[in-house]
Amino acid sequence: SVLAKYEEICEQAKYPPDPKTSFVPTYVVNLDLPPSQRWVEISKIYQKPLAALVTYIKEFALEFSPKLQKIIDLIDNKLGKLADSLPAPYGEEIKGIANATNIELGELVLYNIFYEVFTL
């Protein structure tokens, strides 16, 4: 059904979309705070959906091949150290998010360099 034909038209009445389904909240990140503190409040609010995303990607990888557990262990145990090599203030900001959410630092590093990884 996804691939069913549809008429290619230039939409003319889509704006503004229904706020019930399209609303995006706005938050303030205070750059005067130390990098490790900047995202704490926001990260705590979104701990559950962020953890759900990370968990899903791990489960997807394992469903794809149980052998990928080795890669996941490598990410959890080794990739976190990469945060120290990332340019300031980004490494410290990511560490702050990991602390606030209890998500493995290595997994959050991977999430933050996903653009580069995805070009693989």
Partner 1 sequence: CTSIVGEDSKGNMYHARNLDFGLFLGWDVQNDTWMVSQLLRPLIINVNYTKGGQLQYKTVTFVGFVGVITGIKPNSFSISINERFGANGGYIGLFEWFLNINRNQAWTTFLARDVFENDNMDFDGVIKTLTNTPIIAPVYYIVAGPEKLQGAVVTRDRAKTVDVWTLGTNDTWFLAETNYDHWKKPLIVDDRITPCNRCMNKLGHEKMSFEGLFNVLSSKPVLNKLTVYTALMELKTGKLETYIQYCPTPCDPF
Q: How far is the CB of 19 from partner 1 (least distance, A)?
A: 9
Told to check if 93 binds partner 1 by CB under 8 A, we report yes
Told to check if 97 binds partner 1 by CB under 8 A, we report yes
Q: How far is the CB of 106 from partner 1 (least distance, A)?
A: 12
Buried b (16+ CB within 10 A) or exposed e, 23-42: eeeeeeeeeeeebbebbeee
The Cβ of residue 119 has, within 10 Å, a number of other Cβ atoms equal to 6
88-93 long-range contacts, Cβ below 8 Å, gap at least 24?
Answer: 88/35, 89/35, 89/38, 90/35, 92/34, 92/35, 92/36, 93/35, 93/36, 93/38, 93/39
Q: How far is the CB of 29 from partner 1 (least distance, A)?
A: 5
Binding characters for partner 1, 8-47, by CB under 8 A (x = yes): xxxxxxxxxx---xxxxxxxxxxxx------x--xx-xx-
Amino acid identity for residue 95 in this structure: K
* Dist. CA 94–CA 36, nearest whole Å: 7
Told to check if 116 binds partner 1 by CB under 8 A, we report yes
Given candidates 65, 67, 70, 119, which one binds partner 1 under the rule CB under 8 A? 119
Residue ranges that bind partner 1, judged by CB under 8 A: 1-6, 8-17, 21-32, 39, 42-43, 45-46, 49-50, 52-53, 56-57, 60, 82, 85-87, 90, 93-94, 97, 101, 103, 108, 111-113, 115-120
